[in-house]
Each structure stands twice: as structure tokens, then as C-alpha cells.
């Protein structure tokens, strides 16, 4: 057992497509709070370790949105892929203003390491997702150290920056409707300003479009974006991601999906393509 976290304590368990969907809680060293995560273990995990896809959810979400709405377990069971879903922020800290808006504070950790008081004490979701949680998972569950990462909206932003900032750590990356250029959109400016302070130069370390320019690993990006997404033009800015990838020669498959919005109906429609994308990189296909 690592010194980073307390051992995970089971709080719920459901059999699903021959495997098990389980929820756990543990005390986190990164956030200084109790954290909850979900893990789907496919039937293959009963006889051998399996690789893991980490899924990062978006604003207002918990670990349960993906597990209950995406419909990913059937194909994950066929492929032999575990899926881990962390929460989107620390809970129970009750900092001033923490619960006042949906796009900052609780359920809106933005997958960064905060540097500003009072957020710096607990809002270290980047460290939690990249280091602490995988260590906990790999020490306590029948999984390998082969990892992939994906996410939606704020979580799509999280997946992209985690992969871009950590060459060699993930076998593959994908995103649904990611906040592609947070230093230049209202959601990102609010979150990065609040967690990191007024120095906009420091924000660039958490922006996919900025990171792509100097990335030392050219991991192909698979991105799905609904054309009927209400947040498309103001918040998500896939055109900025496309431009950054073209300028740097970074491989990007950006699929603009006519008629689809920002919801889990959109995610459920295309999640199979993303699982197949990760399965190939993880050696499952």
C-alpha cells in the first residue's frame, strides 16, 4: 500500500456484463479530503490484470455520470478493459464561495493544481488524476500499468493536458467536446484565474493549444464534437485545437458530428469508437 492514500473502502458494487462496477472512497493525500471513484472491472480481470482507461467528467458531474449514462460497460467487458472514473473536485471543504456557481469550486476542479488561497490546499486534481489515483488503482486492483485517458468537456480538457504534460504515461488519449483553449474562453478564464491567479502566462501550462506547440510526444488525438452543442463557439473552440495541431504537425482526428449536442446522448453514441481507439493502443485489438 502506497503512503499516498489510505486503502480504498468499498461503498457500492454491481455486477455488469460479467464484470463488476464498484465505487470506493479513500482519504487523498493530494486533496487532503475523502475522494470517491468508480471502477469497472471486466470479466477478464478475474483471471489476469487488464489495462485501464481513465475517464474525466465535466462540470457539475461526479464519478457516476459516465458509469450510469455512457453505456460503456458492454464493450469494455468484450475488450477486457477496466475503466476508472474519479470525481471532478474535492468535496466537503466549504471554502468561501466554493458552492456559489456551477463552473468554479465544487464539481469544477478543472484538473489543475491550484496555487491561490484557499484553493491551493485542496484543489490539486491534476496530481490526484495523474499520480495518486493510478498508483492507488495499480496497487489495489487487478490491472496493468498500461493506461489511456479520455473525458468530456472540462474532463476532455483534463484528458488532453494530462496526456500532453506526461509523455509516455498514457498509451492513447481522446476527448468529447473538450474545452480546447481555456485561456481564451469564459469557463477557462474563470477557473484558471481563480485557481492560478492573475498571471495569464502561468495559465498556458494548463492549455492544450499551448502545450501542443512544444509537446515531446505526438500521441494522436481523437476528438468528437457535436455541431449542435450550445457551448461550441464560446467555450469549446475546436478550431483553435485544429490550428494548434496543424501548426505543430500533431496528429488530430477531429470529428464534427451534425445534430449532436453536449449531452451524454452524444457521448453514448460515439463511446464505442473511443473505446476501440484506446483498445488498439492498449494491445487489446
pLDDT tens string 60-105: 999 999 999 999 999 999 999 999 999 999 999 999 999 999 999 9
- Does the annotation mark 229 as catalytic? yes
Apex CA 86: angle with CA 81 and CA 89, to 5°?
160
Active-site choice (157, 250, 262, 274): 262
pLDDT tens string 148-194: 999 999 999 999 999 999 999 999 999 999 999 999 999 999 999 99
Query: Mean pLDDT score of the chain, rounded to an integer?
Result: 97
Residue for grid cell 468530456? 152
How high is the pLDDT of residue 6?
82
Q: How many CB atoms lie within 10 A of CB 168?
A: 8
Which residues are bridge partners to 73 per DSSP? none
Percent of the chain with pLDDT strictly greater than 70 = 98
* pLDDT higher than 70, residue 236: yes
Written as nine digits, the cell of 74 is 458492454
How high is the pLDDT of residue 4?
56
- Does the annotation mark 47 as catalytic? no
Using CA atoms, how far apart are residues 31 and 210, in angstroms rounded to an integer? 26
The residues near 133 (Cβ < 8 Å, ≥ 6 apart) are: 37, 54, 84, 86
Active-site choice (30, 148, 150, 153): 153
How high is the pLDDT of residue 285?
87
How high is the pLDDT of residue 1?
35
The residues near 271 (Cβ < 8 Å, ≥ 6 apart) are: 70, 71, 72, 75
Written as nine digits, the cell of 45 is 480481470
Written as nine digits, the cell of 169 is 504515461
Using CA atoms, how far apart are residues 155 and 250, in angstroms rounded to an integer? 21
pLDDT tens string 95-143: 999 999 999 999 999 999 999 999 999 999 999 999 999 999 999 999 9
Domains and CATH numbers, the chain: 9-279 (3.40.50.1820)
Closest CA to 42 of 149, 129, 145, 143: 143
Q: HSE-up of 61 (CA within 13 Å, CB side)?
A: 28
- Does the annotation mark 13 as catalytic? no
Active-site choice (229, 250, 274, 277): 229
How high is the pLDDT of residue 2?
42
Amino acid at each position: 500500500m502506497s503512503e499516498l492514500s489510505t486503502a480504498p473502502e468499498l461503498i457500492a458494487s454491481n455486477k455488469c456484463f460479467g464484470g463488476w462496477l464498484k465505487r470506493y472512497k479513500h482519504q487523498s493525500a493530494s486533496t487532503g479530503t475523502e475522494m470517491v471513484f468508480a471502477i469497472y472491472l471486466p470479466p477478464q480481470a478475474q483471471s489476469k490484470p487488464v489495462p485501464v482507461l481513465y475517464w474525466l467528467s465535466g462540470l457539475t458531474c461526479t464519478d457516476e455520470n459516465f458509469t450510469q449514462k455512457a453505456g460503456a460497460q458492454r464493450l469494455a467487458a468484450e475488450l477486457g478493459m477496466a475503466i476508472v472514473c474519479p470525481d471532478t473536485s474535492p468535496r466537503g471543504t466549504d471554502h468561501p464561495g466554493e458552492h456559489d456557481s456551477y463552473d468554479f469550486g465544487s464539481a469544477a476542479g478543472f484538473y489543475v493544481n491550484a496555487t491561490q488561497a484557499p484553493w491551493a490546499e485542496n484543489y490539486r486534481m491534476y496530481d490526484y488524476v495523474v499520480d495518486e489515483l493510478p498508483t492507488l488503482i495499480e496497487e489495489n486492483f487487478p490491472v496493468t500499468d498500461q493506461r489511456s485517458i479520455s473525458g468530456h468537456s472540462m474532463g476532455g480538457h483534463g484528458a488532453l493536458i494530462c496526456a500532453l504534460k506526461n509523455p509516455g504515461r498514457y498509451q492513447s488519449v481522446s476527448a468529447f467536446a473538450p474545452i480546447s483553449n481555456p485561456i481564451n474562453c469564459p469557463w477557462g478564464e474563470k477557473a484558471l484565474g481563480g485557481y492560478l491567479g492573475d498571471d495569464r502566462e502561468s495559465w498556458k501550462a494548463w492549455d492544450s493549444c499551448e502545450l501542443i506547440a512544444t509537446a515531446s510526444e505526438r500521441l494522436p488525438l481523437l476528438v468528437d464534437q457535436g455541431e449542435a452543442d450550445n457551448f461550441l463557439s464560446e467555450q469549446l473552440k475546436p478550431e483553435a485545437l485544429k490550428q494548434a495541431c496543424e501548426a505543430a504537425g500533431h496528429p488530430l482526428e477531429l470529428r464534427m458530428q451534425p445534430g449532436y449536442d453536449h449531452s451524454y446522448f452524444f457521448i453514448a453514441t460515439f463511446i464505442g469508437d473511443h473505446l476501440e481507439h484506446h483498445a488498439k493502443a492498449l494491445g487489446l485489438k
